[in-house]
Amino acid sequence: ATQPYDDQNIFAKILRGEIPSKRVYEDQWAIAFHDIAPVAPIHILVIPTGRYVSWDDFSAKASAEEITGFVRAVGKVARDLGLVAPGYRLLANVGQHSGQEVPHLHVHLFGGQPLGPMLV
């Protein structure tokens, strides 16, 4: 079972504007901002505005509207950043084995250079 959502997690604070972030996108369903420790020339995090711990939680509990809104937002961020033609990579860590650090669903968006093979 997924842990309960913690309103004090760092991305909850970013969502509420209590901690600064370099936002590149926001709408009703999602916000996107630069990762504080980028591992690619472009490294953006896209998070839903709803309180979901992870992809597991979101895929099981979010409404169809929330899911559609979030998925569309991820695609729009990539398009707005001009990443479709060169290409990009999406990644979501879920839980302990993945090393998920922040317990609010986030999709990593990587781009800006050839990304090489997936490690796992």
104 catalytic residue (yes or no)? no
Number of residues this chain uses to bind ligand 5GP (CB under 6 A): 13
Handedness of CA 68, 71, 74, 76 (dihedral sign): negative
Q: Report CA Rg, the chain.
A: 14
Handedness of CA 20, 46, 28, 10 (dihedral sign): negative
Q: Is 94 in the site for ligand 5GP (CB under 6 A)?
A: no
Pairing of strands 42-48, 23-26: unpaired
Q: What are 46's strand-pairing partners?
A: 32, 107
Q: Is 60 in the site for ligand 5GP (CB under 6 A)?
A: no
Among 1-9, 33-41, 56-64, 73-81, the segment contacting ligand 5GP (CB under 6 A):
33-41
Q: Is 93 in the site for ligand 5GP (CB under 6 A)?
A: yes
> What kind and span of H or E run contains 31?
strand 30-34
- Provide, rounded to whole angstroms, the least separation between the CB of residue 28 and ligand 5GP: 21
- Provide, rounded to whole angstroms, the least separation between the CB of residue 51 and ligand 5GP: 16
- Provide, rounded to whole angstroms, the least separation between the CB of residue 56 and ligand 5GP: 13
Q: Is 49 in the site for ligand 5GP (CB under 6 A)?
A: no
3-class secondary-structure state, position 110: strand
Q: Is 52 in the site for ligand 5GP (CB under 6 A)?
A: no
